[in-house]
Amino acid sequence: MRIIGGKFRSRVLAEFTGNAVRPTSDRAKESLFNILALKIRGKRVLDLFSGSGALGLESLSRDASEVVFNDFSKESISILKRNLSALKIEIGKEAKIYNYDYLTCLNAVQGEFDIIFIDPPYKYDYGVPAMTKIVERRLLSDDGIIVYERDKPFDGEVSGLDKYDERKYGKTYLTFFRRID
């Protein structure tokens, strides 16, 4: 697993051993960041199910102003901290870390985010409850984007959000949402 573009381009990241955790493939990540290319610089990002931090680190590599990382797993947080250290990214300045379940994190964070990545374990359907809480707490900026990654197309609606795009990369679906006011 590596950083695809930006100032940390080609840097290899620490990752999980075994098959218990499924990182976003390089192909899906490259396509995602091509879509988001002009929307990241200077923006605030939430990586809600961060795992090793690959999506948030890619955002920092492309000049996001701040990334808030969250994962419930202590092992994930440990790997994330190793990756931040290897890239010489200061925790507390441009990167904040929470070790909460996703709803606790969404209740704890303050301010709006321009990009929110929701990439929960595929076996759990945490996306809709997460997006519902994001809308309820007004955590998505006016022009903000939620990217929901899962193993099947998104079927349904989330009050207050518009599903405006969906892409398939191998077995991965990336669904894009924006606020409806």
Assess contact for 140 and 112: CB atoms under 8 A. yes
Q: How far apart are CA 18 and CA 176, in angstroms?
A: 29
pLDDT tens, position by position, 113-129: 999 999 998 888 899 99
Which of 85, 82, 52, 86 is closest to 69 using CA atoms? 52
pLDDT tens, position by position, 158-176: 999 999 999 999 999 999 9
Q: Which domains does the chain have, with CATH numbers?
A: 26-179 (3.40.50.150)
Mean pLDDT of 82-106: 95
Token code pair at residue 124 = 């759990």
Cα dihedral: 18, 21, 22, 24 (round 10): -120
Assess contact for 172 and 146: CB atoms under 8 A. no
Mean per-residue pLDDT over the chain, rounded: 92
pLDDT tens, position by position, 38-84: 999 999 999 999 999 999 999 999 999 999 999 999 999 999 999 99
Helix then strand count (H, E) for the chain reads: 5, 7
Q: How far apart are CA 60 and CA 96, in angstroms?
A: 12
By DSSP bridging, strand 140-150 and strand 172-179 are antiparallel
Assess contact for 39 and 114: CB atoms under 8 A. yes
The DSSP code for 38 is G
**pLDDT the model gives residue 64:** 97
pLDDT tens, position by position, 14-49: 876 644 555 677 788 899 999 999 999 999 999 999
- Treating both helix axes as pointing N-terminal to C-terminal, what angle do 54-61 and 26-35 enclose, rounded to 10 degrees? 40
